[in-house]
């Protein structure tokens, strides 16, 4: 390959070179004006000029002899020939075709001179100019360096504007002359300086909150317009919620994870003009812990009127006050409706059913209320009792009128005991529960009062015992003398009851299965007819005893005449008249004998 370096605008003469590839068949007749000899195509470029023919290669039919022509016109013409093939890669790495030559135009040195002034304050108008020499004017200035915000570089080389960003900026400027030849400046270190630091404001500068509640938003101001307020905070381990750092007004919720107040300090640094920090300042938030509470015991049961087990209230936050209220103040009296601290005292249930009293306890410390806790007391009513009848008198062995228990508290058990178990027997035991029924037997000769002591019990609470009494009177003793005899008509035997000045008597007679007919009420009773005779004795206590005997009186009267010396007659019933209501007559007389002035008939 042949390479020629020529000055811009010089004539070009090419000579043939080897061709190792396949040439295209484009005609060379369309070569641009300025080629004075030959029909060969050429590849031409200008070094170090972006988008020139050197970087946008043009090549064509390379089969003819060398050509001549001025470089300036040749380059411009070649760039605009539609019948030339363009290859936008860097110069190809293959061997150029036979008869083709490589030509390069050499540029002069372009020198760029930086401004003398290299500093300026932020937010103040700045203007400095870059200049160039060498090559052909006019010059075009460009840069790919990062400029301060607000500063621009004109094509004429003027670096100007009002910077809104402070810092050091390394700028490199490139100048291109009229022929596209370029030169690059040395690094221009532009320093945009910050203004004097300012201190901002935080409103409010201090505040106190309860753990878990939102803070009053801390509004940040005071720095120049456009400033950014960056902040950090401390105690991120013991107080959670708002981030450890941030920007702008501060808001959110802080939660104190300890049992003591913690002050969170926000350190705020205003930043303006991108890199200019103001004087740091602070805002504080005192985060008080949320108090807690526990109540011991948390539940209990008592009987009405009893003193509760003191409810001890504790918590982890020092200085906590435990305020409480309770419900059911109408039905349960005693302890006040509200108070503070440990809870003690007596509670009285004024109803007949158990009532649960709930104490709601709210812990409070440093102006912060914690979550309320509760403690309950079940106040069971004191059961009462009634016994009906409350007193009665009974004869020994007689069944009691059942003593019925009653009370106002549902589910009450009525437990009882009785006295005089040694002298009073019967079917009623010494103790029991519920209604009382049965009989009592007085083993003495005098009245004995048996006292039943009844204790109502419900829900583990015993009421006031009551009593019911039963006077057990002794029975009288009934006895008959003179009974069990056989007598004749008109003999009029007498039955006699055992005597006691406190007794009253009642006699009665019954024949066979007939009911007893009342007779007299004297101690004695004259017998005129056969039958069963019942004696009922009543003592001064109204208690009775009975005795019975059988009397046999002849039911026939002799209805004839006898003379002295008459023989004994047997079986002669016609001489007797029936005088009783007996269903059948008695046996006939067995013998007749003289007795004194008359005769006696013996009836067997």
What single string gives the DSSP state of each residue in 146-175? Answer: PPPTTEEE-TTSEEEE-----EEEEE-EEE
Rounded to an integer, the average pLDDT of 20-32 is 31
Residues 98 and 115 reside in one and the same domain: no
Domain extent for 77: 2-106
Statement to judge: residues 126 and 184 lie in one domain: yes
Buried/exposed code over 295-309 (b: 16+ C-beta within 10 A; e: otherwise): beeeeebbbbebebe
- For all residues of the chain together, what is the average pLDDT? 80
Task: Mention every residue, 6+ apart, whose C-beta is less than 8 A from residue 492.
Answer: 526, 527, 528
Per the model's pLDDT, the better-predicted residue between 449 and 604 turns out to be 449
310 & 324 share domain: yes
Number of domains into which the chain is organized: 7
Same domain, 279 and 256: yes
pLDDT above 70 as % of the chain: 74
Residues 75 and 121 in one domain: no
Q: Do 455 and 534 have their domain in common?
A: no
Give the CATH number, domain containing residue 459.
2.60.40
The Cα 166–Cα 442 span in angstroms is 123
In this structure, the answer to whether residues 595 and 515 fall within a common structural domain is: no
User: CB neighbours (10 Å) of residue 589?
Assistant: 22
Locus of tokens 């009296």: 333
CATH number reported for the structural domain that contains residue 282 in this entry? 2.60.40.1080
Q: How far apart are the first and last CA of the chain?
A: 192
Cα distance between residue 114 and residue 134, in whole Å = 15
345 with 396, same domain: the answer is no
State phi, psi for 75 to the nearest 5 degrees.
-65, -45
Predicted local distance difference test score (pLDDT) of residue 515: 86
Q: In the block, which residue shows the tokens 């400027």? A: 173
Q: Is the pLDDT of residue 578 over 70?
A: no
Same domain, 463 and 398: yes
Query: What tokens does 493 get?
Result: 């035997």
Q: 515: Cβ–Cβ under 8 A, 6 or more apart, which residues?
A: none
Asked if residue 2 has pLDDT above 90, the reply is: no
Above 90 in pLDDT, residue 349? yes
The domain that holds 155 is classified in CATH as 2.60.40.10
| Residue 373: closest CA among 360, 383, 354, 386 | 360
Question: Are 261 and 304 contained in the same domain?
Answer: no
Same domain? For 548 and 560 the reply is: no
More confident of the two residues 152 and 66:
152
Tell me, yes or no, whether 452 and 428 share the same domain.
Answer: yes
Highest mean pLDDT among 213-227, 390-404, 561-575: 390-404
Q: Which has more pLDDT, 219 or 583? A: 219
Q: Note the pLDDT of residue 199.
A: 86
The percent of residues above 90 in pLDDT, for the chain, comes to: 64
Residue 533 is predicted with a pLDDT of 93
Confidence of residue 491 (pLDDT cuts 50, 70, 90): confident
- 363-388 pLDDT, tens digit per residue, is 999 999 999 999 999 999 999 999 99
Average pLDDT over residues 21-36: 33
pLDDT higher than 70, residue 602: no
pLDDT confidence of 457, banded at 50, 70, 90? very high
Going by C-alpha positions, the residue among 233, 238, 234 that lies closest to residue 211 is 238
Q: Is the pLDDT of residue 15 over 60?
A: no
pLDDT higher than threshold 90 for residue 394: yes
Phi-psi region of 55 (alpha: psi -120 to 50; beta: other; left: phi over 0): alpha
Domain final residue, candidates 67, 86, 106 = 106
Higher confidence at residue 37 or residue 520?
A: 520
Distance separating alpha carbons of residues 551 and 249, to the nearest angstrom: 130
Q: Does the N-terminal peptide bond of residue 389 adopt cis geometry, omega within 30 degrees of 0?
A: yes
pLDDT at 119 over 60: yes
Average pLDDT over residues 187-201: 92
Closest residue by Cα to residue 3 from 72, 100, 85? 100
Q: Sort residue 427 into left (φ over 0), alpha (ψ -120 to 50) or beta.
A: alpha
Instruction: Dig out the tokens for 187 from the structure.
Output: 């690094």
Please give the C-alpha separations between residue 451 and each of 112, 337, 392, 528, 536, in angstroms, as whole numbers: 134, 44, 11, 50, 30
Q: Between these two residues, 550 and 53, which has the higher pLDDT value? A: 550
Domain end (from 358, 380, 402) = 380
Where would I find the beta strands (DSSP E) of 459-527? Answer: 461-462, 466-473, 480-481, 486-487, 494-497, 504-510, 517-518, 524-526
* Phi-psi sector, 273: left (phi>0), alpha (psi -120 to 50), beta: left
Q: How many CB atoms lie within 10 A of CB 550?
A: 12
Q: How far is residue 99's CA from residue 332's CA, in Å, rounded to a whole number?
A: 124
Among 247, 267, 288, residue at a domain's last position: 288
Which helix or strand (DSSP H or E) is residue 73 part of?
helix 71-79
**What is the Cα–Cα distance from 398 to 474, expressed in whole angstroms?**
11
pTM of the model: 0.62
| CB neighbour burial string for 398-423, b if at least 16 within 10 angstroms, e if fewer | bebeebebebbbeebebbbebbbeee
Report the pLDDT value the prediction gives residue 34, as an integer from 0 to 100: 41
Q: Return the pLDDT at 224.
A: 84
DSSP state of 503: -
């Amino acid at each position: 390959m042949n390479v020629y370096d020529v000055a811009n605008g010089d004539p070009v003469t090419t000579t043939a070179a080897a061709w190792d590839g396949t040439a295209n068949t484009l005609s060379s007749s369309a070569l641009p004006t300025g080629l004075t000899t030959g029909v060969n195509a050429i590849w031409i470029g200008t070094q170090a000029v972006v988008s020139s023919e050197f970087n946008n290669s043009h090549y064509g039919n390379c089969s003819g002899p060398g050509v001549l022509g001025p470089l300036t016109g040749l380059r411009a013409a070649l760039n605009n020939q539609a019948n030339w093939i363009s290859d936008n890669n860097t110069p190809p790495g293959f061997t150029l075709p036979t008869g083709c030559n490589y030509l390069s135009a050499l540029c002069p040195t372009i020198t760029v001179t930086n401004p003398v002034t290299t500093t300026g304050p932020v937010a103040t108008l700045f203007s400095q100019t870059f200049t160039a020499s060498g090559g052909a004017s006019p010059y075009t200035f460009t840069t790919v360096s990062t400029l301060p915000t607000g500063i621009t570089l004109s094509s004429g080389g003027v670096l100007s504007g009002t910077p809104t960003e402070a810092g050091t900026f390394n700028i490199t400027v490139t100048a291109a002359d009229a022929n596209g030849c370029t030169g690059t400046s040395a690094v221009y270190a532009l320093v945009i300086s910050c203004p004097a630091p300012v201190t901002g404001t935080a409103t409010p500068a201090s505040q106190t909150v309860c753990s878990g509640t939102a803070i009053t938003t801390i509004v940040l101001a005071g720095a120049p317009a456009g400033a950014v307020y960056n902040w950090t905070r401390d105690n991120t381990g013991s107080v959670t919620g708002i981030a450890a750092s941030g920007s702008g007004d501060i808001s959110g919720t802080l939660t104190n994870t300890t049992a003591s107040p913690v002050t969170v300090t926000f350190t705020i640094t205003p930043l303006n003009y991108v890199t200019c920090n103001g004087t740091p300042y602070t805002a504080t938030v005192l985060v008080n812990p949320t108090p807690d509470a526990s109540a011991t015991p948390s539940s209990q049961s008592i009987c009405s009127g009893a003193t509760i087990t003191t409810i001890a209230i504790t918590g982890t936050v020092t200085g906590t006050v435990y305020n409480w209220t309770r419900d059911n103040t109408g039905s349960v009296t005693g302890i006040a409706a509200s108070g503070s601290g440990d809870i003690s005292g007596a509670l009285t249930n004024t109803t007949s059913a158990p009532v649960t009293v709930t104490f709601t306890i709210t812990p409070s410390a440093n102006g912060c209320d914690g979550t309320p806790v509760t403690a309950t007391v079940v106040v069971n009513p004191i059961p009462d009792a009634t016994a009906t009848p409350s007193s009665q008198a009974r004869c020994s062995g007689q069944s009691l009128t059942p003593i019925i228990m009653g009370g106002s508290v549902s589910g009450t058990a009525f437990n009882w005991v009785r006295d005089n178990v040694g002298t009073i027997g019967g079917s009623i035991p010494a103790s029991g529960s519920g209604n009382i029924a049965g009989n009592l037997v007085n083993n003495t000769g005098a009245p004995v009062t048996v006292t039943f002591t009844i204790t109502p019990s419900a829900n583990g609470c015993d009421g006031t015992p009551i009593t019911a009494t039963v006077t057990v009177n002794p029975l009288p003793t009934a006895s008959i003398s003179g009974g069990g005899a056989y007598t004749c008509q008109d003999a009029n035997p007498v039955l006699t009851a055992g005597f006691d000045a406190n007794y009253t008597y009642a006699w009665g007679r019954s024949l066979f299965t007939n009911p007893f007919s009342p007779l007299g009420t004297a101690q004695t009773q004259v017998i005129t007819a056969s039958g069963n005779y019942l004696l009922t004795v009543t003592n001064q206590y109204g208690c009775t005893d009975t005795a019975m005997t059988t009397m046999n009186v002849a039911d026939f009267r002799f209805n004839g005449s006898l003379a002295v010396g008459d023989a004994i007659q047997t079986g002669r019933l016609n001489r007797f008249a029936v005088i009783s209501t007996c269903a059948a007559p008695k046996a006939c007389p067995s013998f007749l004998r003289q007795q004194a002035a008359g005769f006696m008939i013996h009836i067997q």
